[in-house]
Chains A and B, each alone.
Chain A
Amino acid sequence: MKDVDDKFRKNTDPVPMREELKPRSVTTPDGQTIEIEPLRDYFCDARPKVHPKAYSKIVEDFYNWARSNSLWILGFGTGCGAIEMRPLMTPRFDAYRYGIQWRPTPRQASLLVISGYLSVKTLKRAIRAYEQMPQPKYVMGLGSCTINGGMYWDSYNTIKQLDDYLPVDMYVAGCMPRPEALLHGFMELKKRIRSGKAEGANDYAENFDRYKANQKAVIKDWDMPDYNW
């Protein structure tokens, strides 16, 4: 690119950890002195496990059929695509008839829709939400922003490739994709789940170190445990 400043070098200084998150010793109201380490005390940061499929293929296929027909989406909107998701609840598109529902908490959701560009700040929240979802879980990226940066290709604060940071099962291209395209994406995702290929959660667990390295490369102030249960 001709308009890049070759002399520009980004600053790679590490960000100091926030005071309240540092390990320290505190005095309790009772007068005892205890050691606390906020990032470890309140969270379980055990690495994710690879969960095997059911032993019998028939059972696994049956389960996959159920999973594909009961896609619960986490109501977490990033970027402009969140607007395109709302019409799916309305009479015109009515995604409910395909077993697609919206859940307000990551614990009950099985599909995380990254609906548009992800700023670094939102990426942090998206990772936390993703890691709290129970397995098997799926990620869908909407729009060109999640594929190659889209119109935010030269932005200082939005990621360009979503699958560097989270295992993506399905991309829906467009800027923004219309609700019809989204519905089509859901149908394709269903096929993928039914064929047993949608094992993103296991992929995340297997390549955990690579994903974490990528995530930590862009999220400078990593103020959470490595894995959020």
Chain B
Amino acid sequence: MTDFPNFQWAQVGYALLTLFIVINYGMVMTAVVRKIGARVGGRYGIPVWQNYVDLLKNIALRSKISHGVMYYLGPVFRLTGGVGLLMFVPTIYGSEWHQNFSYAGDLILALYFVFFGTLGMALGAGESGHPHSAIGVSRGLAQVTMAELPLALGVYALSLQYGTLDITKIVAAQQGSIFNWTLFTNPIATVAAMIAFVGTMMRSPFDVAMAPQEIPIGPPTEYHSSYLALMQTNRALFPVAKVVIYMNLFFGGATSWAEFAIKVFCLYMVSVVIGVVHPRFRVEQSIRFFLKWGLPIGVLAILVV
């Protein structure tokens, strides 16, 4: 373990603790968001613990059908994407415990992990043999690929601005005042990245690949019981992990769990609010949107820096 500077075994335990907190936070938060959506529509909505019950029920199902090794690995990859994303990003700045395994070049790795889960899912859904899965996953991949473009450009602009690829250093540079946040020091890159953010959160208007009302819910069509439970866990974890990256890069990071909770919730609500007022885009429409608006803003961000 000499290759990793500053590595201590205790970090593994701390990282697992982070993971545990984030999963539970994600479970409750997605339920609360659904409840808010229901209240907007005049309904009571689901109980806040509903996600746990669903998870438990899926684990408790008695029969499982596997369609092969890749089918089994699909949700595993998906969850790996979420866990990996969280593990290599410092969750709480300045905290010894929740620094996780961040290191000098972790920004590149994080960008990779954002995409990793979708790719794994593509392999798994392909093996499930259901035509809707294959259609859904190809649509999802096309859309996510396009949405990643503005993010990548925004992140390059950021690394040029701060001269580093280390998320911890980027967060450190934003401490002190609210006007040190990238949001104010580099608003164009922030806008570019936020377009990608809304695009990859799998909420309306960019959720055509996964929405239950479309071609039966796309990639997870064949997934059930424990496989689905794994994906549900990821669906709680992954958005939070993704928001953590954005929070660190553009919104000054978090120095305590309370700040973390508030910032993540607010950022998540951005995509929710956009989602409730916009109808769903078709895939080619959203691709055109990202190319037309996201890409030029991203290029502009790099040029300005």
Contact = CB atoms under 8 A, between A and B. Distances in A.
Q: Do the two chains touch directly in the complex (Cβ atoms below 8 Å apart)?
A: yes
A104 B53 contact: no
B148 interface: no
B228 interface: yes
Contact of B47 (A49, A97, A107): A97
A105 B217 contact: yes
Given A49-B63, A136-B62, A63 B56 contact: yes
B46 A99 contact: yes
Interface stretch (A65-73, A143-151, A168-176): A65-73
A141 B38 CA distance: 28
A135 B57 CA distance: 11
Interface in A115-149: 134-136
Given A134-B62, A136-B61, A107 B223 contact: yes
Contacts of A135: 61-63
Interface residues of A, number: 27
Contacts of B61: 110, 134-136
Nearest to B46: A96
A99 B53 contact: yes
A51 B47 contact: no
Given A91-B43, A136-B61, A69 B53 contact: yes
A51 B222 CA distance: 21
Contacts of B213: 104
A179 to B, nearest CB: 14
B62 A97 contact: no
B60 A63 contact: yes
A132 to B, nearest CB: 9
B137 to A, nearest CB: 15
Contact of B62 (A51, A69, A72, A96): A51
Contacts of A220: none
Given A105-B221, A134-B225, A67 B47 contact: no
Contacts, number: 80
Contacts of A101: 46
B95 interface: no
Contact of B63 (A51, A67, A94): A51
A145 B213 CA distance: 29
B57 A97 contact: no
Given A96-B45, A135-B62, A103 B212 contact: yes
Nearest to A71: B57
Contact of B224 (A49, A90, A107): A107
Nearest to B221: A105
B216 interface: yes
A91 B62 contact: no
Contacts of A208: none
A105 B62 contact: no
Interface string B218-235: 001111110010000000
Nearest to A102: B212
Given A90-B43, A105-B217, A229-B65, 7 more contacts: A66-B53, A67-B60, A69-B57, A96-B43, A99-B47, A134-B61, A135-B62
Closest 4 CB pairs of A and B: A91-B42, A63-B60, A51-B62, A70-B57
19 contacts: A49-B63, A51-B62, A63-B60, A66-B53, A66-B57, A66-B60, A67-B60, A70-B54, A72-B54, A96-B43, A101-B46, A105-B221, A108-B223, A108-B224, A110-B57, A110-B61, A134-B61, A134-B64, A134-B225
